[in-house]
């Protein structure tokens, strides 16, 4: 028995976090074991790497290597064992974020990121990716109300416009697993799309 691996993506301020918890609740109510986790992070070591990546100035390739190091530890210590026992894993960000942020946002070549993806994931990909999409300008307005910005949240609107375009490119390349959620509307409208995407798969 293999569980399902679901990832959540979008630019900072897209509002995905509350929907992840709500979807976990929705699935548990149907009798499924659900793990909620995040990247970078999800294991003690990967959470330490997260703190560095979000706070310490570093060059872009170092940043990419650290998120993939965290990812490897997370896969080995948390994601793969959970899937092996049949649990659903809901992960707040995964490798599409590396293509969007370190690739489209910071300018690293997609082919380089693809090599790390192959190496670290050994062919494993999410079964379903919910991409919370909205214009960079709207996301920026939502972020201003939030807490002190980290290294990514400090970036300008042009950076987030590139990250958004990076997600759009990933959706085109991985259309079978990618569902675009229009995240610009009110939370109830966004939630309806999230549930519709989960129900459409027929897995839960």
Stretch touching ligand TYD by CB under 6 A, among 18-26, 81-89, 97-105, 172-180: 97-105
Residue 12 CB coordination number (10 Å): 21
For 195, what's the count of Cα atoms within 13 Å in the CB-facing half-sphere?
11
Smallest distance, ligand TYD to C-beta of residue 12, A: 5
- Answer for which of 7, 19, 39, 89 binds ligand TYD (CB under 6 A) is 39
The reply to whether 166 sits near ligand TYD by the rule CB under 6 A is no
- Answer for which of 5, 12, 34, 74 binds ligand TYD (CB under 6 A) is 12
- Answer for which of 23, 67, 75, 134 binds ligand TYD (CB under 6 A) is 67
The footprint of ligand TYD on residues 99-118 (CB under 6 A) is 101-102
* Burial of 188 per CB tally in 10 Å (0-12, 13-18, 19+): exposed
- Answer for which of 19, 74, 93, 177 binds ligand TYD (CB under 6 A) is 93
Give CA–CA dist 69/147, Å, rounded.
27
Stretch touching ligand TYD by CB under 6 A, among 18-26, 29-37, 91-99, 132-140: 91-99
Nearer to ligand TYD by Cβ, of 63 and 127: the residue is 63
Give, in order, the Cα–Cα distances in Å from 29 to each of 23, 34, 71, 113, 133.
10, 10, 29, 37, 27
The footprint of ligand TYD on residues 15-34 (CB under 6 A) is 17
Smallest distance, ligand TYD to C-beta of residue 106, A: 8
Smallest distance, ligand TYD to C-beta of residue 33, A: 23
Q: Are 102 and 64 in contact (CB under 8 A)?
A: yes
Residue 198: partners with Cβ closer than 8 Å, 6 or more residues away: 23, 26, 27, 128, 204
The footprint of ligand TYD on residues 123-162 (CB under 6 A) is 152
Residue 2 CB coordination number (10 Å): 10
Residue 113: partners with Cβ closer than 8 Å, 6 or more residues away: 64, 95, 98, 99, 102, 103
Smallest distance, ligand TYD to C-beta of residue 30, A: 26
Residue with tokens 């070591």: 45
Instruction: Tell me which residues touch ligand TYD (CB under 6 A).
Output: 12, 17, 39-40, 67, 92-93, 97-98, 101-102, 152
């Amino acid at each position: 028995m293999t569980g399902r691996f679901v990832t959540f993506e979008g630019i900072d301020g897209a509002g995905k976090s509350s929907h992840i918890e709500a979807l976990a609740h929705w699935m548990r109510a149907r009798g499924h074991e659900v793990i909620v986790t995040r990247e970078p992070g999800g294991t003690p070591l990967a959470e330490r790497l997260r703190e560095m990546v979000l706070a310490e100035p570093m060059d872009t390739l170092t940043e990419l290597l650290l998120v993939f190091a965290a990812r490897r530890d997370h896969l080995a210590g948390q994601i793969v064992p959970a899937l092996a026992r049949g649990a659903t894993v809901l992960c707040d960000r995964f490798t599409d974020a590396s293509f969007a942020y370190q690739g489209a946002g910071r300018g690293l070549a997609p082919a380089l990121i693809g090599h790390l993806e192959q190496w670290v994931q050994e062919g494993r990909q999410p079964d379903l990716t919910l991409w919370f999409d909205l214009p960079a300008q709207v996301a920026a307005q939502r972020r201003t109300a939030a807490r002190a910005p980290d290294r990514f949240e400090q970036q300008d609107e042009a950076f987030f416009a590139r990250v958004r375009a990076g997600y759009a490119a990933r959706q085109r390349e991985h259309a079978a697993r990618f569902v675009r959620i229009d995240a610009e509307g009110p939370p109830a409208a966004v939630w309806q799309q999230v549930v519709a995407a989960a129900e459409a798969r027929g897995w839960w």
